[in-house]
Structure 1
Amino acid sequence: MPSTPAAPSGPPPGRWNVHRLPRAEGKTFLVTGGNAGIGYFVAEQLAGTGATVVLGCRDAAKAGAAIAAIGSRVPGAAVRYVPLDLADPSSLKASVEALGLDRLDAVVHNAGVALDHPPRRETRDGHELMFATNHLGHFALTHHLAPLLAAAPGSRVVTTGSFAAKSERLDLDDLQSRHDYRPKRAYARSKLAQMLFALELDRRLRAVGSTTRSVLVHPGGALDSLTPSRPPVHVRTPGARLGHLPLRLVVQGKDAAAWPAVRGVLDPDVRGGRMLAPRAFGLRGVPRTEPLWSHLADTATAARLWSASRDLTGTDPGPGRFAAAP
């Protein structure tokens, strides 16, 4: 009697089920800022696939709390921590060496800083804090990770943008917001820089036939009050949940906001240079491929941003790095 074929481990081609993720045993994923917020839920969901997940973050105690929370939800989860300070590019090479890996299947560029009020703050290198952390740090980190990603066929660089960037444009003559600092605008522009980087990286990788894919995602609208509790990482009170329940028609919790990045890592049908976003107006719902916003297709601005980022960081995560042997 012929044997019965094994049931598929993931959704049929062309379909994606956020509640039935494909298995990923033997793979390793790095999530920057994986100890809190959306990054925590990206890490938790990836851990549920059987993959090894590394949380890249600054605070060891917060990382430990996140690892414990994931372990309580995902029995046998393989999760660990590596110190990572994106505002200090000189430390990133050591952080990558501390991974102790000879290959990396995906990195999720998720960590970010959002300041609401002046004054303008700088890193010790003299860079505006949000631009330095959200964009320059991930740009430099990709440079150091490139050989590990190149060693894993079909690896992914998944970059998390923001809906806030949709109405912004870069000022290439004032990337550091030195002349007219407005915190919310500076944050939105830092996320726009990330998004342009993701698309420019894809163009450069495809030009040399690299198997690494650069995938852009944005999480839509996410509120703590709609996010399920994960003590001690996040605790939601019943009052907060009920008070904001009507907003669920428009936005979502951070668990659902993690879905685009998780799909960007795991879905074999996802192509580089595309943007995954929530289905309902880009704000909530299951992730789907969304047309690029018109200003994201500005290749001249993206190329100039790349050159400026290379000069500011002293790194270049171009295709030559991805061709290097680990």
Structure 2
Amino acid sequence: MARTVNVLVTGGNAGIGYFTAEQLAEAGATVVLGSRSQTKADTAADAIRARVPGADIRHLPLDLGDLSSLKSSADGLEKLDAVVFNAGVALDSLDREESVDGHELMFATNHLGHFALTHWLAPLLTTARIITVGSFAARSERLDLDDLQSINAYDPKRTYGRSKLAQMIFGFELDRRLRAAGSRAMSVVVHPGGALDSLTPSRPGVHTRPASTRVAGLLLHGKDSGAMPAVKAVLDPDVEGGQLWGPRQFGLRGKPHLERPHAHMTDPETAAALWQKSCELTGLDLDV
């Protein structure tokens, strides 16, 4: 890179977020780890510096499940060239959980938190790349605009998939609105494919690789590989706003390639309705 790129990675202390941060640091970026835990962020930073001596890694206290805290978090930043909306919650329990604001926890953290954070970061994003990390799970889901909070029908797997779909719909709609406003910022959507812990290399204090299986390795990949579409979206000068990047082989593993979004991810009427409801639920008018 000709200059240092400043990047915020939400959830940058673990999983896909950690490897996104590590790979960006290897490319010379200044990386801000958005994390609720100072201890976990410090551990992640130490692991990155062990592989990238001298890496510029910082921590931003960030709790996407607490909407009232996000303005303070955004105020802690001075410059951004890109932000990777990666942080997410995936729950297995059959008991529906809520955020401190009373919203279903996965939808609140994965979508509403990033929606609200975009509002508060807006002054720093006038020329930035805004990268939304979706999920392969979103392909088979559809939003229920009358039950975004999964009050009437809660299934953890479906609710997670819908929360990630909401993120992706938001990412595509954000770019449409940026283009319409003549903004120099761009919004890009990515997904990691089938990224497994068992195929992910160990990092001290961050991740210990469990026993792997040869079959899984033929079909899926690790979270280090799953981070590559997000890293490409941040750094590659040929990436354009409104694009979707994911793994090359069946959308599950391999190097990043440009994908065609499914129609239900880019439907303008659904996107407009989700945008309006997100404004109402967050109490914010995200106008770009």
What is the TM-score normalised by the length of structure 2? 0.98
Check whether the contact 2:90–2:160 (CA below 8 A) recurs between aligned residues: yes
Looking at structure 2, the residues matched to 107 and 45 of structure 1 have their Cα atoms a distance apart, in angstroms, of: 14
Check whether the contact 1:205–1:318 (CA below 8 A) recurs between aligned residues: no
Check whether the contact 2:32–2:60 (CA below 8 A) recurs between aligned residues: yes
**SS in structure 2 of the partner of residue 54 of structure 1:** strand
Query: Against the structure 1 CA distance between its residues 31 and 93, is the aligned structure 2 distance closer, same or farther, given a 3 Å change threshold?
Result: same
Looking at structure 2, the residues matched to 24 and 66 of structure 1 have their Cα atoms a distance apart, in angstroms, of: 26
Select 1:85's aligned residue among 53, 58, 63. 63
For the aligned residue pairs, the C-alpha RMSD in angstroms reads 1.0
Select 1:263's aligned residue among 232, 237, 241. 232
1:225 is aligned to 2:198: yes
In the TM superposition, residue 26 of structure 1 has moved relative to its aligned partner by 2.3
AA of the residue aligned to 1:292: P
Looking at structure 1, the residues matched to 107 and 2 of structure 2 have their Cα atoms a distance apart, in angstroms, of: 33
In the TM superposition, residue 24 of structure 1 has moved relative to its aligned partner by 5.9
Looking at structure 2, the residues matched to 317 and 157 of structure 1 have their Cα atoms a distance apart, in angstroms, of: 15
1:299 is aligned to 2:275: no
AA of the residue aligned to 2:87: A
Write out per-residue CA displacement over residues 26-78 of structure 1, whole angstroms, 9 at most, x where no aligned residue.
22100000000010000000011111100001011111100000000001100
The aligned runs of 1:40-55 (5 Å cut-off) are 40-55=18-33
Detail structure 1 runs of 4+ shifted over 3 Å in the superposition. Answer: none
| Structure 2 partner of 1:280 | 249
Gaps of at least 5 residues in structure 1 are 1-22, 320-326
| Structure 2 partner of 1:116 | 92
Query: Against the structure 1 CA distance between its residues 220 and 24, is the aligned structure 2 distance closer, same or farther, given a 3 Å change threshold?
Result: farther
| Structure 2 partner of 1:142 | 118
In the TM superposition, residue 316 of structure 1 has moved relative to its aligned partner by 3.0
1:107 is aligned to 2:76: no
Looking at structure 1, the residues matched to 99 and 215 of structure 2 have their Cα atoms a distance apart, in angstroms, of: 40
AA of the residue aligned to 2:65: A
Select 2:141's aligned residue among 168, 185, 189. 168
AA of the residue aligned to 1:297: T
| Structure 1 partner of 2:157 | 184
In the TM superposition, residue 261 of structure 1 has moved relative to its aligned partner by 0.4
AA of the residue aligned to 1:279: R
Percent identity (aligned): 64
| Structure 1 partner of 2:13 | 35
Check whether the contact 1:164–1:188 (CA below 8 A) recurs between aligned residues: yes
Check whether the contact 1:226–1:245 (CA below 8 A) recurs between aligned residues: no
Looking at structure 1, the residues matched to 272 and 133 of structure 2 have their Cα atoms a distance apart, in angstroms, of: 19
1:127 is aligned to 2:103: yes
Looking at structure 2, the residues matched to 315 and 27 of structure 1 have their Cα atoms a distance apart, in angstroms, of: 29
1:236 is aligned to 2:209: yes
Check whether the contact 1:24–1:51 (CA below 8 A) recurs between aligned residues: no
Looking at structure 2, the residues matched to 251 and 164 of structure 1 have their Cα atoms a distance apart, in angstroms, of: 14
Looking at structure 2, the residues matched to 262 and 26 of structure 1 have their Cα atoms a distance apart, in angstroms, of: 15
The aligned runs of 1:194-213 (5 Å cut-off) are 194-213=167-186
Select 1:57's aligned residue among 4, 26, 35. 35
| Structure 2 partner of 1:309 | 278
Looking at structure 1, the residues matched to 6 and 285 of structure 2 have their Cα atoms a distance apart, in angstroms, of: 24
Looking at structure 2, the residues matched to 73 and 124 of structure 1 have their Cα atoms a distance apart, in angstroms, of: 37
Looking at structure 1, the residues matched to 59 and 52 of structure 2 have their Cα atoms a distance apart, in angstroms, of: 17
What is the TM-score normalised by the length of structure 1? 0.87
**SS in structure 2 of the partner of residue 43 of structure 1:** helix
In the TM superposition, residue 245 of structure 1 has moved relative to its aligned partner by 2.5
Looking at structure 2, the residues matched to 256 and 229 of structure 1 have their Cα atoms a distance apart, in angstroms, of: 13
In the TM superposition, residue 114 of structure 1 has moved relative to its aligned partner by 0.3
